[in-house]
Structure 1
Amino acid sequence: MTVRSSSSAVPARTGRRPAIARPAAAGRAMARTAAGLVLVLMALVIVRLPWVGDLGMHAATLQRLRHSPLDPGNPLVDADTASPYYSPWMLLLGTVARVTGLSVFVVLRLAAVVGLVLLVTGVRRYVRTLSAHRAAPALALLSLLFLWGTTPFLWSGFPGLNSLALTVAYPSTFTLGLAFHFWAWLTGALRGGAGWGTWLGLGALWAVILLCHQFSGVVASLGACATVVAARPGRAVWPRAAAGLLLGAVVLGAWPYYDFFALFGAGSGLEPVHRVLYEDLAARFGLVLLGVAALVARWRRDRRDPLVLFFLSGLLVVVAGRLSGHFSWGRALPAVLIPAQLAAALEAVRAGRRGVRAGRAALLAGALAVGAWAQAGTLGYVVPRDALPQAVRDRYGPPWTGYHWITPWVGYGDVVMAETGPARRIPAYGPYTVAPGYPDFFLPDEERRTAVTREYFAPGTPERVRRDIEREYGVRWVVDGSGDLDDAGLRAVARGPEGQVLYEVP
């Protein structure tokens, strides 16, 4: 009998890593370190909670649910109407505020933490269904944050770093995090032959996503359709998937706080504000072309690649919106951007010849560096502006000032006459305004409210006309943003930043 030497069967361990493994390990460490630093930055931003955009709307929504969870009424004006902002997530947050007594801004910080955790863990779970490479989740997160363009773009549901820093407390961030978990769960269900309970759970989660943020729900739905088509499911899956869809539709129809299906008629009022989504595309999203090239490579390998199908479905909706004049369909742009960003990250870690793989990684690193520099102004939310280098300072946009200075006089539920800018912030503290600061599909007299507000602040409007408006809408206070309101019938009680004046109505 021949006995083989153990040294010939198993190579002796030298304690050294192969040369090809050392750069890979270094790359993984760099990606994880960069992602960790970004998350630290986001945690500091949450502490600051900078205010730009819709934060006042969400704070006002929590105010109403905190005071009257069963019948909150309109979040912005003193009217008994429904609102799509009363979602399951906001109802939960409003309940937390009501039970704990915490201020709505503290609760919004808690919401930001939950949303950020959901987003990070959701990206990790979903990317794991696409690649087993250990660096893939960190690179995917960095691509989602930085692979945009040379001009920062701020909009809820668009998870660039600058945008996320200002919208992390919004329902859109929470919903997008749920969407990534939804796609991961759906992928597992398709691969593992899940039972009826799993598919019913997926249907319920799909409905919750749509109720919490309708535009992100459209993105989640497009990604889900792409996942199903790419999986080529067998006949046994379709009845279970149909049951999940049916349950989701039932949940959508049964939600008591607003009529979800009525939102399909809201497009005409949303088109003007969304026209900007189709402008300056190269400056805002030019770096995503690297991801488009990665998608082409994936399509050549697999004609039913889920990211490719996701990208094409989103592109179809966005282009159709532009051609038809339905600019609100531009909110589906994340369905174009997200699969391209993920594809760029996954292509950089895909197996291949060493030189080719290094080239792909270098391209991605360069694009991420350009994108990070474009959004460097985000540092201004956690670093004093004067401490920033001038080049970074020039990219920083200071957040809005709040209206806490009116709260010693203006109480919860008081009606304040204010123009659009102040009207977007004042309801966050509990008062109402005459005209809503945001478009409101469910408010039947929105146009009249906007018109009388414009008339109230117009130069030369007679004082008797102002008194009539005050009586009609129960106005107790007036905030003049310009400080130029000339009305002897009003009594100035406080002065705020930027020359603003709070007047008491006689």
Structure 2
Amino acid sequence: MTGRLWTTRVAALVLLLLLLLVVVRLPWAGDLGMHAATVERLRHGFLDPGNPLVDADTPSPYYSPWTALLGCVAKATGFSVFVVLRIGALVALGVLVTGVWRYVRVLSAHPGAPPLALLCLVLLWGTAQFSWSGFLGFHSLALTVAYPSVCALGLAFHLWTWLARATGWGVWLGCGVLWAVILLIHQFSGVVASVGALAVVTTARVGRGGWGRLGAGLALGVVVLWAWPYYDFFALLGAGDGMDPVHRSLYRDLIGRYWLALVGVVALGVRWWRDRWDALVLFFVIGAVVFLAGGVSGHWSWGRVLPAALIPAQLAVALAVVDSGRRAVRAGWACVLGAALVVGAWGQAGTLGYVVERGVMPGVVEAKYREPWAGYHWITPWVGYGDVVMAREFPSRQIPAYGAYTVAPGYPDFFLPDEGARRAAVRRYFATGAAGSVRRGIAREYGVRWVVDRGTGLRDAEGLREVARGPDGQVLYAVTCCLTPAA
């Protein structure tokens, strides 16, 4: 048993070391530009940062307690936004690891349970590579470790720990505040945290006095949500339908992405047989029901609750290995889980490409590697902070990270009233054969100073001057007319 414990600890440490090396390289993909832009706006205008992506004075749910803290760090240190994001990633990773460790110790006193749980949470997924913020797979974490979702999930594990042990008024009130902070940091992870908290509280059989303290904690949490100054949290309750198209892919290839977690579902079945009010079982059931309801009803954004089903399954099988009673049963679980973890690690082996050079990896591993985005640092010698850049959707996800604005946001923005008009303006500007007067009018309306496009479609366009060339045939043009927005 001692040898197996050390093997588990070493494997968990290797996994954490790889994630730390990923933080050093910080591969660019997904929403990194959004979070970088948010920190940059807070650095320049902490009290009234405006929209992080476009030149508009609107609120944004990306201004959370976590990004506000990172904005303060950026302002105080003068570090570049990407250095600050690396610091945030290190802190968030620490919050996640300590949170998992503490919560698992609530569920089991066995010293091997926490490191084994970490391995399960990161590796027990599927063989199809998949990444999304709020999902703890190794490949997903490698690309989202600097996102607020990692910090939010880490705090969720701490919340469940405190709830499981809550006694006095101070702890319950503190849990209410922490619950609100998690929801403000990352709303989808906040839903997962809420489902887990409901399972913990329901199965803890809180006494009459405890329900009163729980109610007070919830009330205080609602007050914190209401008082948050950067955006109206409760207005987001009506934003779900607009986010559905983005999340449709969460319901694709379910077997390929998650089939290894089925061993955890079996472990949950064993736990349910022993205790009909097991917290992990209830956690899983609520999460699975909401996920399935989203698929049936077409509310694809509900798919973000899936970690509420995966986390308890992954924890359950880790606990089965150390707490199943008979030695032979534990050995059986250990063999099954060991094989599943090896398969899971192989399925996510392409993540090693974010740590080492591609040429160093074996060919079969290199084939799994996905190239991260290149970024737009090449425009920074010319494009200044606050300049407006006309760009299509994909570059609009990255350009604001360097301080510039784009005409239309690269992501859906519930609080931007003219989002549709902005997207239509971008389409008109880049339309083949668009008249010079149309482009001039759009440039004047939105104060466009620069244009980024791929290929030669704008090479001879009136009022544009080529300034620089970037990767993949991209070109930066300076707008030589209509440099000020219309009054």
Give the TM interval when normalised to the shorter protein. Answer: over 0.9
Deviations along 1:81-112, one digit per CA (max 9) or x if unpaired, are 00000001100110110111111100000000
Report whether the alignment pairs 1:52 with 2:29: yes
Equivalent of residue 344 in structure 1, options 317, 321, 335: 317
Q: Which residue of 2 aligns with 1:463?
A: 436
* Distance across 1 between alignment mates of 2:455 and 2:234: 40
**1:72 corresponding residue in structure 2:** 49
- Counterpart of 1:380 in 2: which secondary structure? helix
* Aligned twin of 1:7: none
Q: Does 1:313 align with 2:286?
A: yes
Alignment pair present for 1:490 and 2:464: yes
Q: 1:63-102 alignment to 2 at 5 Å?
A: 63-102=40-79
Q: Which residue of 2 aligns with 1:362?
A: 335
**Over 4 Å off, 4+ runs:** none
* CA-CA distance at 1:459 after TM superposition: 1.1
Shift of 1:454: 1.2
Question: Offset of 1:161 from its aligned partner?
Answer: 0.4
Q: Deviations over 1:458-483 (max 9, x none)?
A: 11111111111100100000001334
Q: CA offsets per residue over residues 137-176 of structure 1, 9 Å max, x none?
A: 0110000000001101100000100000110010000000
Q: Is structure 2 residue 168 aligned with structure 1 residue 173?
A: no
For 2:130, the equivalent position in structure 1 comes to 153
Judge conservation of contact 1:321–1:329 (CA < 8 Å) in 2. yes
Tell me the distance in 2 between the aligned counterparts of 1:283 and 1:483: 40
The residue type paired with residue 114 of structure 1 is V
Match of 1:21 in 2: none
3-state SS of the aligned residue for 1:256? coil
Q: Residues of 1 paired with 2:45 and 2:309: CA distance?
A: 39
Structure 2 residue 382 is matched with structure 1 residue 405: no
- TM-score w.r.t. the length of structure 2 is 0.97
Cα RMSD for the two superposed structures? 0.8
Match of 1:42 in 2: 19
- The answer to whether the 8 A contact 1:422-1:481 is kept is no
Match of 1:374 in 2: 347
Q: Which moved more, 1:320-329 or 1:358-367?
A: 320-329
Of 459, 462, 476 in structure 2, the residue corresponding to residue 502 of structure 1 is 476
Separation in structure 2 between the aligned mates of residue 207 and residue 358 of structure 1, nearest angstrom: 42
Q: Distance in 1 between matches of 2:395 and 2:455?
A: 11
TM-score by length of 1: 0.94
Distance in 1 separating the partners of 2:354 and 2:248: 28
| Matched AA of 1:196 | W
Q: 1:126 aligns with which of 92, 100, 103?
A: 103
Gaps of 5+ in 2: 481-487
Counterpart amino acid of residue 435 in structure 2 = P
Structure 1: distance between partners of 2:255 and 2:431: 40
Q: Does the 8 A contact of 1:126 with 1:181 survive in 2?
A: yes
How many Å separate the matches in 1 of 2:59 and 2:463?
A: 35
User: Structure 1: how far apart are the matches of 2:43 and 2:24?
Assistant: 22
What letter matches 2:301 in structure 1? Answer: S
CA distance in 2, matches of 1:353, 1:324: 44
Residues 436-451 of structure 1 mapped to structure 2, 5 A cutoff: 436-451=409-424
Q: Deviations over 1:213-248 (max 9, x none)?
A: 000000000000000111111111011000000000
Distance 1:227 1:502 in 2: 54
Matches within 5 A, 1:223-234: 223-234=196-207
Letter in 1 for 2:472: E
Quote the Cα distance in structure 1 between the aligned partners of 2:398 and 2:455. 16
What amino acid is the match of 1:368?
L
1:302 aligned residue (264, 271, 275): 275
One-letter identity of the residue aligned with 1:258: Y
In structure 1, the residue matched to 2:447 is: 474
Partner of 1:4: none
Deviation at 1:41, TM superposition (A): 0.6
Distance (Å, rounded) in 2 between the aligned partners of 1:356 and 1:211: 43
1:261 positional shift? 0.2
Do the aligned partners of 1:478 and 1:504 also contact (CA within 8 Å) in 2? yes
- The percentage of aligned residue pairs carrying the same residue is 67
- 1:205 pairs, out of 178, 181, 199, with 178
Q: Does the Cα contact within 8 Å between 1:199 and 1:241 map onto a contact in 2?
A: yes
Equivalent position of 2:169 in the other structure: 196
Q: Which residue of 2 aligns with 1:250?
A: 223
The CA deviation string for residues 29-63 of structure 1, in whole angstroms up to 9 with x for no partner, is 11100000011111110000000000000000001
Q: CA deviation at 1:353?
A: 2.5
Residue of 423, 426, 431 corresponding to 1:453: 426
Q: Does 1:387 align with 2:364?
A: no
Give the Cα–Cα distance (whole angstroms) in 2 for the partners of residues 483 and 29 of structure 1.
59
> 1:30 and 2:7 equivalent?
yes
Aligned residue in 2 for 1:3: none
Distance in 2 (CA, whole Å) between partners of 1:503 and 1:394 is 36
CA distance in 1 between partners of 2:87 and 2:418 (Å): 35
Q: Distance in 2 between matches of 1:388 and 1:488?
A: 48
**Secondary structure of 1:123's partner?**
helix
Count of aligned pairs? 479
Separation of aligned partners in 2, 1:407 and 1:345? 48
Distance 1:258 1:180 in 2: 26
Query: Rg: which structure is higher?
Result: 1
Q: Is the 8 A contact 1:204 1:247 kept in 2?
A: yes
Which secondary structure does the structure 2 equivalent of 1:503 belong to? strand
Q: Which runs of 5+ in 1 are unaligned?
A: 1-23
Secondary structure of 2:450's aligned partner: strand
Alignment partner of 1:349: what SS? helix
The letter for the 1-side match of 2:474 is Q
8 Å contact kept, 1:183–1:227: yes
